Chains A and B, each alone.
Chain A
Amino acid sequence: MSVNYDKYEAVIGLEVHAQLLTQSKLFCGDSAAFVNEPNTHISPITMAHPGTLPKLNDKAIEYAIKLGLACNCEIEKINYFARKNYFYPDLPKGYQVSQHTTPICKGGYVTIKTENGEKKVQLNRIHMEEDAGKSIHDQDEHYTYVDLNRAGVPLCEIVTEPDLSSGDEAYAYLTELRRLVRWIEVCDGNMEEGSMRCDANVSIRLKGETRLGTKVEVKNLNSIRNVKRAIDHEIKRMIEEVENGGTIIQQTRSFDANNGTTFALRTKEEANDYRYFADPDLTPFHISDEWLKQIQSTIPELYESKVKRYTTELQLTEYDAKVIADERETADYFDALVQQTKNYKAAANWMIGPVKSYLNENNTSITELSLTPSSLAEIIALIDKGKINFSVASSKLFPALIKQPDVTASALATQLNLVQTSDSNEVASWVEEVLNKMPDKVAEYRKGKKGLIGLFVGEVKKLSKGKADPKLTNDLLLEKLNA
């Protein structure tokens, strides 16, 4: 059987739940931190005891707006929460408090780059809602156990338009979104621990068709890679189903990461009736221009802008710019570094080379690095002045400075005897010694094997432990050899 996959195109929309990095829950003071011990972050409000009143966390609003502004959304000024009514044991009130019908952020986009170029993935909205608790079904034959630690933790739901067309685009979108939420510090973006969760709505249609096909929702996607795998599998499954004369039924499916396939969880019979209405226990909240401006001022320069600035103003290659900007802390360090040196290329090479290797080898992060940007700038200046060469600087001076961050780079270079000498008597004596050691090679050179100059330079370098000024070495060698 041969299936013509190219006749079809996929239409994908993603719903991402991001847990906001507040200290406390959305409507009460229980800690929002993840904790293993069940039912330790709960209060009468979380448990929905009669007579309790919820009160909205101002930080959650700020984080939601911060995310919306960073995604170029329009921010709604007049807001309220609604109740979404349904029964489930891990939902103590019998309703979830959500902005599902009146989102705080509307529209907007996230820019992604794939092999096909740049694309602005259109967002439908970002809204706030509370998380549910956790049901545990496998502990007891007759009972479900309920842990309410997570109930009431603030979430942002980020919903795209059906604007993606492949697993690769979904991968790129989630990578950018995760970078963004971490960058602006509103969510830790950890998909494995569930602080960022993704559901994918996938449908297919014949190319040229404008109507949307029947969609399937895929859940249980606990990594960005698995989102891509699940979507790729689902597109293939749906095309094969249709090509074999079948029809797609609207259903919810779960991804099995072990074999890369999906299986049906439930088929949607009729739409649920959630009976949304404004929550009378919570007052509306209005966003003033002043508040909006203050939140705007907390947004740091974003990844995209940094990459653009590095490639244009600093003339770095796009590859270098992206490696440096990949994590905000590294980019911030680099920004401080280029305040103190004009040799941007060298600064980038240090970040990508010795600094990155050191951090990897020592399993540490740039925020832990004892070496300050100004010390690193001083090393770069020493190299530029010919006082020390790069390989000695990176292998000896750099690690030594990390151990003694209070000493200046030039003082330490002198102390460790690393400064290159341009004393011609000293260099001349090294040159003499090397040439005396290898009369055969000298003879060969003189017979015309000029390439041997590299060998002599290398030997002088070795003998001087890197201290011989390379240019002077070269000049003196040529002088002796051609005499």
Chain B
Amino acid sequence: MEVTDKLVDNLAHLARLQFNDQEKAEIKKDLQKMIAFVDKLNELDTSNVSPLLHMSDNVNMLRKDEVKGSVERNEALSNAPEKTDKYFKVPKVINNPQ
């Protein structure tokens, strides 16, 4: 699989990252190496092996439906870079509020 500029741009967009041309060239090279490494694994026939979805064998780690563990709003908002006394504030994400 070939890593193109378009692929790098698309991945950068999905991750909300921005790169200059020099960075992009380096990332292209790195990504190409990573894909080559994974391609190596593709040489193995894994058609009869079910995918490993979880690293541990634990199943059904469930909790009871109980209300607990909430924090005070002041405390919750204290780590937010921007806030009011009640809300988290983020740069406006739509242009035409209805």
A: which residues have CB within 8 A of B?
22-24, 28-31, 37-45, 47, 49, 55-61, 80, 85, 87-89, 135-148, 273, 275, 278, 280, 282-286
Shortest Cβ distance from B10 into A: residue: A273
A172 to B56, CA, bound (A): 46
A134 to B54, CA, bound (A): 31
Tell whether, in the assembled complex, residue B73 and residue A144 are in contact, meaning their CB atoms are under 8 Å apart. Answer: no
Q: CB of B40 within 8 A of chain A?
A: no
A3 to B90, CA, bound (A): 49
A225 to B34, CA, bound (A): 54
Write the nearest CB–CB distance from A288 to chain B, whole angstroms. 9
Q: CB of B41 within 8 A of chain A?
A: no
- Return chain B residues, CB-CB under 8 Å to A31: 67, 70
Tell whether, in the assembled complex, residue A143 and residue B63 are in contact, meaning their CB atoms are under 8 Å apart. Answer: no
- Return chain A residues, CB-CB under 8 Å to B87: 38-39, 136, 139, 145-147
**What 0/1 pattern do residues 74 to 98 of B give for CB contact below 8 A with A?**
0011010010101111111110010
B: which residues have CB within 8 A of A?
10, 14, 16, 53-56, 58-71, 73, 76-77, 79, 82, 84, 86-94, 97
Tell whether, in the assembled complex, residue A55 and residue B62 are in contact, meaning their CB atoms are under 8 Å apart. Answer: yes
- Return chain B residues, CB-CB under 8 Å to A41: 70
Tell whether, in the assembled complex, residue B92 and residue A144 are in contact, meaning their CB atoms are under 8 Å apart. Answer: yes
Tell whether, in the assembled complex, residue B60 and residue A285 are in contact, meaning their CB atoms are under 8 Å apart. Answer: yes
Shortest Cβ distance from A277 into B: residue: B53
Tell whether, in the assembled complex, residue A137 and residue B76 are in contact, meaning their CB atoms are under 8 Å apart. Answer: no
Known: A23-B67, A283-B60. A140 touches B89 (CB 8 A): yes
15 A-B pairs with CB atoms under 8 Å apart are: A38-B86, A38-B87, A44-B71, A49-B79, A55-B63, A56-B62, A58-B63, A85-B14, A89-B88, A137-B97, A139-B87, A143-B90, A278-B53, A283-B59, A283-B61
- Return chain B residues, CB-CB under 8 Å to A60: 65
Tell whether, in the assembled complex, residue A58 and residue B89 are in contact, meaning their CB atoms are under 8 Å apart. Answer: no
Write the nearest CB–CB distance from B47 to chain A, whole angstroms. 20
Tell whether, in the assembled complex, residue B93 and residue A58 are in contact, meaning their CB atoms are under 8 Å apart. Answer: no
A419 to B8, CA, bound (A): 91
A265 to B86, CA, bound (A): 29
Candidates A29, A37, A284; contact of B69 at CB < 8 Å:
A29
Shortest Cβ distance from B77 into A: residue: A39
Candidates A58, A88, A144; contact of B65 at CB < 8 Å:
A58
Write the nearest CB–CB distance from B89 to chain A, whole angstroms. 4
- Return chain B residues, CB-CB under 8 Å to A142: 91-92
Write the nearest CB–CB distance from A176 to chain B, whole angstroms. 27
Shortest Cβ distance from A49 into B: residue: B79
Tell whether, in the assembled complex, residue A280 and residue B90 are in contact, meaning their CB atoms are under 8 Å apart. Answer: no
A7 to B18, CA, bound (A): 52
- Return chain A residues, CB-CB under 8 Å to B56: 283
Give the one of B53, B56, B65, B90 with max A CB within 10 A: B65
- Return chain A residues, CB-CB under 8 Å to B60: 283, 285-286
Write the nearest CB–CB distance from B16 to chain A, whole angstroms. 6
Tell whether, in the assembled complex, residue A137 and residue B88 are in contact, meaning their CB atoms are under 8 Å apart. Answer: no
- Return chain B residues, CB-CB under 8 Å to A136: 87
8 closest residue pairs by CB, A with B:
A59-B65, A145-B87, A137-B97, A278-B53, A29-B69, A146-B88, A29-B68, A58-B62
A143 to B89, CA, bound (A): 6
A273 to B13, CA, bound (A): 11
Tell whether, in the assembled complex, residue A89 and residue B76 are in contact, meaning their CB atoms are under 8 Å apart. Answer: no
Tell whether, in the assembled complex, residue A29 and residue B94 are in contact, meaning their CB atoms are under 8 Å apart. Answer: no
Shortest Cβ distance from A148 into B: residue: B88
A386 to B74, CA, bound (A): 71
Tell whether, in the assembled complex, residue A144 and residue B67 are in contact, meaning their CB atoms are under 8 Å apart. Answer: no
Write the nearest CB–CB distance from B85 to chain A, whole angstroms. 10
Shortest Cβ distance from A145 into B: residue: B87
Known: A42-B76, A145-B88, A283-B56. A57 touches B63 (CB 8 A): yes
Shortest Cβ distance from A21 into B: residue: B65
- Return chain A residues, CB-CB under 8 Å to B65: 22-24, 57-60
A282 to B62, CA, bound (A): 9
A283 to B93, CA, bound (A): 34
